């Protein structure tokens, strides 16, 4: 097994109580996430933690840090989103133990753990700030900071004819058509 997140654990196998610190900085082997926010291929991913030998296998625990890129869903400005996630995964010696991950050829592969955690941390609707004013629907330009919407709403031009009928009924000088 070879890959960016594959770690040799030969020194820990069969030695319960043994532990090794883990500091890893790797480039993302693929784009993580498909929606508005994503960690692009080649973006740095930092992993710090430890690998511990236990009776059932190798326990990997620690935290993941990286930066996702996105566009604000209101104003479409590009933004960077810091991603942080903690993980703890047991890599079992045997497939029959019922764990999702196994030690294979004296190695553990953290890639599925990292990918799943990073993707779960990506926001569905990223915003540059909680009070982002967004775009003006009439001009398509970004509204200025601190913009406040008006409580007064104009009449949709498609309904103006209907509004005229209401006005005619309220004016005593106009006659309505007779049946």
With respect to residue 35, please indicate whether it lies within any of the assigned structural domains.
yes
Q: How many CB atoms lie within 10 A of CB 67?
A: 14
pLDDT at 2: 47
Condensed to tens digits (0 to 9), the pLDDT of residues 96-146 reads 766 778 788 888 889 899 999 999 999 989 998 888 888 888 888 888 776
Hey, what's the torsion of the CAs at 117, 119, 121, 127, to 10 degrees?
A: 170
Q: Is the pTM of this model over 0.75?
A: no
With respect to residue 153, please indicate whether it lies within any of the assigned structural domains.
no
Hey, what are 95's tokens? 């497939």
Q: Distance between CA atoms of 176 and 115, rounded to whole angstroms?
A: 69
With respect to residue 140, please indicate whether it lies within any of the assigned structural domains.
no
Show the domain range for 61.
6-121
With respect to residue 113, please indicate whether it lies within any of the assigned structural domains.
yes
Q: Distance between CA atoms of 57 and 101, rounded to whole angstroms?
A: 10
Total of domains in the chain: 1
Residue 65's alpha-carbon distances to 36, 45, 94, 117, 177, in angstroms, are: 19, 6, 30, 10, 73
86 — pLDDT class (breaks 50, 70, 90): very high
């Amino acid at each position: 097994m070879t890959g960016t997140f594959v770690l040799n654990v030969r020194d820990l196998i069969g030695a319960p109580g043994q532990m090794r610190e883990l500091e890893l900085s790797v480039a993302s082997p693929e784009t993580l996430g498909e929606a508005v926010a994503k960690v692009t291929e080649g973006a740095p991913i930092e992993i710090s933690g430890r690998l511990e030998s236990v009776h059932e296998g190798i326990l990997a625990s620690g935290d993941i840090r990286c930066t996702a890129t996105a566009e604000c869903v209101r104003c479409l400005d590009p933004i960077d989103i810091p991603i942080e996630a903690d993980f703890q995964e047991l890599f079992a010696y045997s497939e029959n133990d019922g764990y999702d991950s196994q030690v294979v050829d004296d190695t553990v592969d953290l890639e599925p753990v990292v990918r799943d955690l990073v993707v779960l941390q990506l926001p569905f609707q990223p915003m540059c700030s909680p009070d982002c004013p967004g775009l003006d629907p009439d001009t398509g330009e970004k509204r200025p900071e601190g913009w406040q919407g008006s409580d007064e709403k104009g009449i949709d031009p498609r309904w103006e004819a209907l509004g005229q009928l209401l006005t005619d009924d309220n004016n005593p000088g106009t006659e309505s058509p007779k049946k």
